[in-house]
Structure 1
Amino acid sequence: MTNAVLDIDTIDVEKIDKEVENELKTTVTIAIQTETLKKAIGKVERSVSKKAVQDIFKFIFIDIQENKLTFRGINSEYLTEATVLQNEAQSNFKITNGNPGSICFPADKLVPIVKRLKAKNSEICIESNVAVIKSGRPEFNLNGIDGSEFPNTPDLEEKEATISIHPDMLRIMYSRTIYACSASETRPLLTGVHHVLSGKQLKCVSTDSHRLAQYTYDLDKEHPDVRVTVPAPIMTEVLKHLSDSEIEVQVHFYSNQVVYEFEDAKIYGRILEGQYPNIESLLFKSDQAGSSVAINAGMFKSLLNNSTVYNSDQPIIIRIKPDLNQLRANTREDEVGAFEEDLSTTNGSGEDVIIAVNVRYLQDALSHYGDQDQVKFIFSPSSPDKPVGMRPFIGMLDNGNEECLELFVPVRTPQIDYNKQVEIEDFKGVAEFEFNPFEEAFKEIQ
């Protein structure tokens, strides 16, 4: 008996490595409802970074299992994960050939391909990191990379709290606060919305140091105290998912992350580090006000829009005589012209007010009120060293929750003499007032 001798020189190591590599690559064919595929891709495509330093951030991850599909998109702020669970009839998707596995495709190619699929059902055949996507007549070939190269979901440290909240309420809270975040990275904490969970109350606060927005909501049960600041881009993405959600959203607060859990999607986002500024000293209640006035939101929004004709960046000067229900707004004269409009207030009390304020800040806040709403503005009392027109003032829904509010910091301008008595001459804001240039002529004819 002779011993066989293995000739090392005859072994093609490179060929063997290639064969092993191909064996490890995903080889699978799935049939899927086109609408199901479009919906899943749509949930993650917004998370894909178009200008990422890391190329993998430009890809969409797809994991294919027997009864579950997982899609992921990621950027430097957050990761979005969408899932499709196989229904009992296996009519939404099923594996028709091959074995489960994962793969990544460039989003800038996969997304437009999926949007162009028109047939009711589609087929995706993946072999050696190349996909053939069919739907009716069209057939697309798309190169991908192995799914193992895509980042995993973030490591979650100790959970601090979980709340359950209706999507409509979360949408209101976020839309009423996110607009006041800072766009400047010089103070990173102000680029997010501060979430304060205390007992049964959730409070959201944002400020860019020139304005502030706050909204509170009473939850149905007690929760541990939590204070975290969530970056505005994460909340913007959450708002887009809320429009498709009908069941309560689970919000999980961790020491380093926040996770939003929807029926068929999750958003993982890092929280901002640091202590949020104490804003309580800026706020005051109606019973502490030196002046207050209520205004029809629709009419005031129209006035603000009119004031931006000449220069939307210049401040608007507002004079208010609360006891007379009179308000006059004007812009300073420039080379083009000037604006002035009077408005009757619904009610008011306290000392007269003259103030200059950024028009865009008022418009941003008023955009969340209905045209029939009554908006109440309250002003802190004047003092010898600081008149009312130089102090922050607050806006809120008249007879609404006083913890749901907006705060504005006035603009200091040489156009205003704060020590001078407020005057509104020839007031034209009476509701019945309508300019009729023919009135005198008609009287003469009669």
Structure 2
Amino acid sequence: MKFSLKRTIFMQELQTVQRAISSKTTIPILTGVKILVTEEGLTLTGSNADISIETFLSVQDENSLLQIEETGKIVLQARFFSEIIRRLPEEEVSIEMLENNQVAITSGKAHFTINGLDADNYPHLPVIETENQMKLPVHVLNKLIAETGFAVSQHESRPILTGVHFILSDQKLLAVATDSHRLSQRVIPIEQAVENFDIVIPGKSLIELSRSLTDEEELVEISIMENQVLFKTETMYFYSRLLEGKYPDTNRLIPSSFNTEIDFYVPTLLAAIERASLLSHEGRNNIVRLTLDADSVVLSGNSPEVGKVEESLSYEKVTGEPLELSFNPDYMKAALRAFGDMSVTVKFISAVRPFTLEPTESSVEFIQLITPVRTN
């Protein structure tokens, strides 16, 4: 194996596959990055128990200045190898395989020789069937992840809730996540009929996927098989395990009738909650209180250790019965950030029942639900 290429391009590829490499694995070879050189180009692979990432750099890619003299494959210790590449003095780097799985790295006057492992011992990635496939624009997938991924559970006590549930039916793709205190559900129209598309993908996998997808890529192809899903772009294969078990029926959690409704402009409400949470974070109880009637809407926070805050909120309109309730400001901030620059309608039943947030513009199918905090 012998090849040379532009160091900065190589570094980008290494950083992408390193997202899948853990230093805390029980399988030593998985702390390494697999390098495969063929006449077509350079393939890098990184993997752990949950995700695997494979990137491909073609010899046709003029930016990379990739030149292949000999084909071959090797596994190199990922963290150590990428640190060497990062600190090399020149823009061009050449890599050559020596005897006994050793590899020579040369750039300018710097010359390293490092030990590798036999690539034949590296686990094989699953073969994905091509029947169950769906295509999505990359920016749509990234938006879906941003709008739901934050609401997954961080506790392993109910593993199924640590993932986002995706269902495709009637030409609509539904993505929903809940940690049992809050819920975020987004529905987008999609012109594809894929059968049995009902999967739960770990939230951590989706965050790494979102970080790995670049703006240059337009479409991502999604394929599923028994316990794996593959996200495929022109230059990357991203595999994730699927969570096993039945996801709870979240539709029954979403109320259909309400007693109080109020419309807010998201950035204005978000800024007010950020101010109120300055004090709530300092105290023992991380809660803020919302008091609303026909004439006013007031946000307040009281932290005996620090002080208190009160602010009259700007709102667009309010209807229904007066209400007073408390909620976790962090849940509310995460929900509002997912909506972005728009107006939302917040709908309440009572001080102890979950309330919902939906875009005031009814063409967007996006609903979030937050459970209030009971206070004496």
Tell me, yes or no, whether TM beats 0.5.
Answer: yes
- The one-letter amino acid paired with 1:113 is I
User: Which of residues 293, 310, 320 is equivalent to 2:292?
Assistant: 320
Q: How many residues align?
A: 372
- The one-letter amino acid paired with 1:130 is Q
Once residues 263 and 42 of structure 1 are traced to their aligned partners in structure 2, the CA distance between those partners, rounded to angstroms, is 17
Deviations for 1:320-367, whole angstroms, at most 9, x for unmatched residues? 12x43x211112351321111111310121111211111110011112
What are the residue-to-residue correspondences of 1:116-135 with 2, within 5 Å?
A: 116-128=87-99, 129-135=101-107
Distance change (3 Å), C-alpha of 1:339 and 1:117: same
What are the residue-to-residue correspondences of 1:106-125 with 2, within 5 Å?
A: 106-125=77-96
Mapped pair 1:355 → 2:317: no
- The one-letter amino acid paired with 1:84 is L
Distance change (3 Å), C-alpha of 1:262 and 1:159: closer
CA contact (8 A) 1:199 1:224 kept: no
Mapped pair 1:393 → 2:355: yes
Once residues 346 and 268 of structure 2 are traced to their aligned partners in structure 1, the CA distance between those partners, rounded to angstroms, is 15
Structure 1 partner of 2:25: 52
Q: Offset at 1:159?
A: 5.8
Q: Offset at 1:310?
A: 2.4
- The 3-state SS of whatever aligns with 1:331 is strand
Distance change (3 Å), C-alpha of 1:181 and 1:82: same
Q: Offset at 1:401?
A: 4.1
List runs of 5+ in structure 2 lacking aligned partners. none
User: Which of residues 236, 249, 265 is equivalent to 1:296?
Assistant: 265
Once residues 356 and 298 of structure 2 are traced to their aligned partners in structure 1, the CA distance between those partners, rounded to angstroms, is 18
User: Which of residues 307, 328, 344 is equivalent to 2:276?
Assistant: 307
Q: Offset at 1:264?
A: 0.3
Deviations for 1:359-404, whole angstroms, at most 9, x for unmatched residues? 110011112233x521210123xxxxxxx11111111221144631
CA contact (8 A) 2:147 2:339 kept: no
Deviations for 1:25-79, whole angstroms, at most 9, x for unmatched residues? xxx2212232332222122011110211221121000111122211101111111
Distance change (3 Å), C-alpha of 1:88 and 1:188: closer
Distance change (3 Å), C-alpha of 1:310 and 1:88: closer
Deviations for 1:201-232, whole angstroms, at most 9, x for unmatched residues? 11110000000011111112322242110001
- The 3-state SS of whatever aligns with 1:73 is strand
Structure 1 partner of 2:308: 338
- The 3-state SS of whatever aligns with 2:339 is coil
- The one-letter amino acid paired with 1:364 is A
What are the residue-to-residue correspondences of 1:404-423 with 2, within 5 Å?
A: 404-414=366-376
Distance change (3 Å), C-alpha of 1:311 and 1:33: same
Distance change (3 Å), C-alpha of 1:244 and 1:320: same
- The one-letter amino acid paired with 1:280 is N
What are the residue-to-residue correspondences of 1:425-436 with 2, within 5 Å?
A: none
TM-score of the two chains, using structure 2 as the length reference: 0.93
Once residues 369 and 403 of structure 1 are traced to their aligned partners in structure 2, the CA distance between those partners, rounded to angstroms, is 11
Once residues 351 and 43 of structure 2 are traced to their aligned partners in structure 1, the CA distance between those partners, rounded to angstroms, is 56
Distance change (3 Å), C-alpha of 1:94 and 1:44: same
CA contact (8 A) 2:353 2:372 kept: yes
- The 3-state SS of whatever aligns with 2:33 is strand
User: Which of residues 156, 166, 174 is equivalent to 1:185?
Assistant: 156
Distance change (3 Å), C-alpha of 1:107 and 1:88: closer
- The 3-state SS of whatever aligns with 2:278 is coil
Distance change (3 Å), C-alpha of 1:160 and 1:304: farther
Q: Offset at 1:118?
A: 4.6
CA RMSD of aligned residues (A): 1.9
Structure 1 partner of 2:41: 68
Distance change (3 Å), C-alpha of 1:244 and 1:109: farther
- Rg: which structure is higher? 1
Task: Give the stretch that moved more between structures: 330-339 or 104-113.
Answer: 330-339
CA contact (8 A) 2:139 2:215 kept: no
Distance change (3 Å), C-alpha of 1:29 and 1:344: closer
Q: Offset at 1:154?
A: 2.2
CA contact (8 A) 1:86 1:94 kept: yes
What are the residue-to-residue correspondences of 1:367-378 with 2, within 5 Å?
A: 367-370=337-340, 372-378=341-347
Once residues 219 and 34 of structure 2 are traced to their aligned partners in structure 1, the CA distance between those partners, rounded to angstroms, is 27
Q: Which runs of 4+ in 1 moved over 4 A?
A: 88-91
Structure 1 partner of 2:243: 272
Structure 2 partner of 1:250: 221
Once residues 160 and 283 of structure 1 are traced to their aligned partners in structure 2, the CA distance between those partners, rounded to angstroms, is 34
Distance change (3 Å), C-alpha of 1:328 and 1:335: same
List runs of 5+ in structure 1 lacking aligned partners. 1-27, 381-387, 415-446
Structure 1 partner of 2:178: 207
- The one-letter amino acid paired with 2:23 is K
Higher strand share: 2
Once residues 338 and 73 of structure 1 are traced to their aligned partners in structure 2, the CA distance between those partners, rounded to angstroms, is 50
User: Which of residues 32, 39, 60 is equivalent to 2:12?
Assistant: 39
Once residues 211 and 45 of structure 2 are traced to their aligned partners in structure 1, the CA distance between those partners, rounded to angstroms, is 16
Once residues 308 and 327 of structure 1 are traced to their aligned partners in structure 2, the CA distance between those partners, rounded to angstroms, is 17
- The 3-state SS of whatever aligns with 1:222 is coil
Structure 2 partner of 1:444: none
CA contact (8 A) 1:247 1:263 kept: no
Once residues 355 and 402 of structure 1 are traced to their aligned partners in structure 2, the CA distance between those partners, rounded to angstroms, is 27
